[in-house]
Amino acid sequence: MLTRRSFLGHTAAISAATAPLFEAMAGLAAENPAAPAQPPRKIKLGLVGCGGRGKWIAGLFKEHGGYEMHAVADYFQRNADACGNALGVEKNRRFSGLSGYKKVIESGVEAVALIVPPCFLPEHSSAAAEAGLHVYMAKPVAVDVHGCLKVEAAGKLATQKQRVFLVDYQIPTDPVNIQIAERVRKGEIGKLTKVESVGVCGGRADPPKTATIESRLESLVWDNDIAIGGSFINSYDIHAIDATIWVLGRRPVAAMGSSRICRANPYGDSHDVCSVVYEYADGLIHEHSGLAMPDGSDGELGCKVHGERGYAVVNYWRKARFLVRGQKATVAEVVDLYPAGARRNIAAFHQDVVAGRFENHTVRRAVDGCLTCILGREAGFRHGRLTMEELLKENKRYEADLTGLKV
């Protein structure tokens, strides 16, 4: 399984080929600090999902200093207790079972952080928005079209109620990536000709199924099950596809592709290898390649945008690049994005709540990115071409079997 690089401390050691890019990155970093020195007030926060990432990101919320960790919930009581102990949450505000999120919402919190398998996010985010809470949410937002549309509606409701709704993607928070994306949008590489994105990871453990799906709800096993995680293109590759939509500012209108299962002894139905070609309204072609296999490859997550005069690369790891033909290339390191991006989003969430900013711009892109992944997944399953209009009209549902689970 892919291991993301561990956090090495707050660092500004970004190597760049040109001084202007250094200056631009410094300015962007100043506008988007990791955390305010003295948060003006604490937001009473509830955490839903206390597994690996949930417990980890809860520590970043606590580290920020602008949050009071008020309540936690996880399907497994042991996870809720472990996280509650680490955060100092009273035992009577540690909830479990499928309905634990409802108890967090009712516990007196102002905001919730939803770090649960994607199949639960539409229901959880809708309930939180209806209750008038601010929502901080993991990706992907759903596993099917129905779920995407439900999250979209929840985001609109949050805005109507003057509440913040933020979906946590990291690539668009990085100062290097921001600068490069802006230069693409300004037309510095000319008219766009082609886009490439890639998602490579080591896959996930896929053990035999048990009497209920309880055993699939931990340790990212759910990535192997479409109804719980949405398939690998939706749960992992989505970082690269979201980055593409972020740079382009639009979603595709069609996709054609092929995909299959390559892992040995599969028990889930997620396809772990895919090749998808997306089409945009103006004819732009976007090729996406996905691989979730333990073959020893280094992880890859990013997109490359080609133009008539050059190309640009935005990345999750390693280096981002920008080249205009005839000029020296700009190359800069993307530094510790896994923790740094989460810290930036946690800080932005706090700032938006305190300042009363309810534009909630991440929702539209998160929904479009998820729909794009679902479009690619369905085209790959069918080994053919599918339009976004057809996908939305079909509105195919994937429902996790919750039979036998603790309510």
Tens digit of each residue's pLDDT (9 = 90 or more) over 333-359: 999 999 999 999 999 999 999 999 999
| Residue 325 confidence (pLDDT) | 96
Non-local CB neighbours of 148 within 8 Å, separated by 6+ positions: 122, 141, 142, 367, 370, 371, 374
Q: Percentage of residues in the chain with pLDDT exceeding 70?
A: 91
Strand segments, DSSP code E, in 248-334 are 254-260, 273-279, 285-292, 300-307, 310-315, 319-324, 330-333
pLDDT of residue 37: 61
| pLDDT tens per residue, range 197-242 | 999 999 999 999 999 999 999 999 999 999 999 999 999 999 999 9
Mean pLDDT, each 10-residue run in order, the chain (407 residues): 33 33 38 56 97 96 97 98 97 98 98 98 98 98 98 98 98 97 98 98 96 96 97 98 98 98 96 98 98 92 98 96 96 96 98 97 98 98 97 97 98
pLDDT given for residue 31 in this prediction: 42
Q: What are phi and psi of 204, to 5 degrees?
A: -130, 155
For the CA atoms of 397, 286, 233, 34, what is the dihedral angle to 10 degrees? -110
- What distance, in Å, lies between the first and last C-alpha atoms of the chain? 31
Tell me the backbone φ, ψ of residue 266, rounded to 5 degrees.
-70, 140
**Could you give the dihedral angle defined by the CA atoms of residues 174, 117, 241 and 35, in that order, rounded to the nearest 10 degrees?**
-10
Three-state SS at 217: coil
CB atoms within 10 A of CB 118: 26
What does the pLDDT read at residue 297? 87
Q: What is the pTM of this model?
A: 0.91
Cis peptide before 208 (omega within 30 of 0): no
Strands (E), 7-104: 43-48, 67-74, 94-96
Set out the domains of the chain in order of their start, with CATH numbers. 33-169 (3.40.50.720), 171-354+363-394 (3.30.360.10)
